[in-house]
Structure formats: C-alpha cells, structure tokens
Amino acid sequence: MPDLKRSPLLPREDAREAALFFVVAALCFLAALTGLATRAAYGAAESWAGQVQGEMTIRLVDGGEEDAESLARLLSDLPGIRSVEAEDRDVTESLLAPWLGTNLPDDLPLSWYLGVQTMPDAANLSETIVDTAEGAGFQVEVEDHQRWANDVERSLGILRLTGMVALILLVTIVLSVIAFATHSALLARRDVVHVLHTCGASDRFISRLFEHRFFGLGLRAGGLGALFALLGAMLLFFGAKQAGERSWLLPQMSPDIGTFIVLVVTPLIAAIVAMIAARITVGRALSELN
C-alpha cells in the first residue's frame, strides 16, 4: 500500500504571503513598541506626579539648627508624614544661589529648611503642620508644591493624550494595512477557491480554510513583531537609564501584567484582523461564483 501523505488543501505560503508576513510583523512591531512606550510614559508620569506631590518644604522663619532638628522630630510623628529631615546649610545656600550668589558669609543669617516626605493619601497636611509647629512655639511657612503639582499634572495629561492618540492612530493604520495586505494575498488564491467550489465544497468549508491560514499567519507574524518590540523597548529604556541621575524622568520598562497584555494582545489582534479580512475576501470571491 503506498504511503499517501495528506497535503493541506491550500498551497504553501508563497512570495506574496511572505511579504504579508513581513508587513504584519513590521506593523505589529511598531504597534507593540508604541503600546509599550505609551505604557512606560504613563508609568513615568505617575512617578513624576508622585515625586512632586509626595514632597513638602517647611521654612523655619526664626530659629537655629537645633530648633530645626527638634521640629523635624516633632513633625515626624504626625500621621501622613513619612519622614522629615532638616536640610543643612549647604543645601539652603544652593537653593538661594540664583538670588544671592555663592560663597555667602558664614555669619549671614539664613532660614532653616525642612524637607518632608508624605504618604500618597495624606490630606490637609499643611494646616496640621502649621498648627503643630505653632503649638510648639515655632513660626513656619509651608510650601506644598501645589503650583508645581498642577503644572506637572497638566503636562502629564498632555503626554497621556498624545501617547493615546498616537497609539490609536497607529492601531487604525495597522488594522487597515493588515486587512488590505490579506485581501491582496488572497486574490492570488482565487483559482483554488474556484476549484474547491466546483468540487462541492461549501462556502463555510472554503472560508474556514483561508481563515485558519491567515489567522495563523497573523499570529506568527504578530508574535514575532511583538517579540522584537519587547527587545527594542528593553534596549531603548535600559539605554535611557544610563543617561545619568535624572533618568527617573525618562520612561521606565517594568515587566508587569500591562507589558504582558500589550505583547499578547498585539499578535492576537493582528491574527483576528487577518482572519476577518480573509473571511470577507473569500466571501466576496464566492459570491461572484454561482
């Protein structure tokens, strides 16, 4: 008995499908990279906001180093306060340098500043700090960075919106190009559709053949594109991390569930779009046949 290998009913991938594979992979690379970048920018934005909103500065209007340290200890026990630290004179001088210049005389009286780190959910701390300090006989001014926080929040809003618009635009382009490329690749297979049709294959049978083929193609190409996007993003973000001490301002990669979702969803969407495009194209080709 001869060994009769069962070939797939659709021909193996040819040059047209190889081109489609490349197009889908490249587009998925761009989409996944944009997705990862947008996510990382969101993360960085949250981090900036946290940095600004979680800090306060207290100016001790009248008093010396011991007073500043005593006040720091007093405020450290307040609810909502993570830490309080009296800044030393060098820090104060560097803060005043834009107005008073450097090399200030040692006997020049300068206010003492205290840096306060607060809990993320702490509210109305300014009033509590002022009341507590005045109750202990200290005169203080509190700067809660609200003006900065508002500016940062506004900038972050613009950044988020820009990232989201770029992502939506790119995804729309990706969907259209994949659908168009699938349609073009399928037109070359009309002869197969015709033969299967006249041999008695049902429309659903023929359509399913092409849907499976193009779903698989979309999944493989999309997966490859997403993998390269992950590698590209890692290179970019880890490279940016080497940028220096201000690297916390740059987007950061974090291998969390969001990253995983971007990498899984991208090829899945590409596969589903290719499959739907295949179904529509084959449906049209079949409707032209009796």
Partner 1 sequence: MTEPVLSLDEPTIRVDSVNHGYVSGDHVLGDINMELKAGSFAFLTGPSGSGKTTLLQLLYAAQKPRNGRVFLFGVETNTASRQTLTRLRRRIGVVYQDFRLLNHLTAYENAALPLRVTGQHEREYRDDVLDLLNWVGLGDRIQAKPTTLSGGEQQRVAIARALVNKPHLLIADEPTGNVDPEMGERLIRLILELNRRLSTTVLIATHDIALVERLQAPILRLENGLLMHDRRGDFSGG
**Beta carbon of residue 154, minimum distance to partner 1 (angstroms, whole number):** 59
Residue 209 Cβ vs partner 1, minimum distance, rounded to whole Å: 10
Q: Which is nearer to partner 1, 102 or 287 (CB)?
A: 287
Q: Which is nearer to partner 1, 199 or 257 (CB)?
A: 199
CA separation for the pair 126, 56 (Å, rounded):
8
The smaller minimum CB distance to partner 1, of residues 5 and 147, is found at: 5
Question: How near is the Cβ of 286 to partner 1 at its closest, in Å?
Answer: 8
As measured in angstroms, the least distance from the Cβ of 213 to partner 1 is: 13
Binding residues for partner 1 (CB under 8 A): 2, 4, 6-7, 9, 11-12, 191-192, 194-203, 205, 289-290
In terms of CB distance, is 33 or 185 closer to partner 1?
Answer: 185
**Joined tokens for residue 50:** 């946290």
Question: Among residues 3 and 90, whose Cβ is nearest to partner 1?
Answer: 3
In the complex with partner 1, which residue's Cβ is closer, 54 or 216? Answer: 216
Antiparallel, parallel or unpaired: β 112-118 and 81-86: antiparallel
Least gap, CB of 11 to partner 1 (angstroms) = 4
- Smallest gap from Cβ 205 to partner 1, in A, equals 6
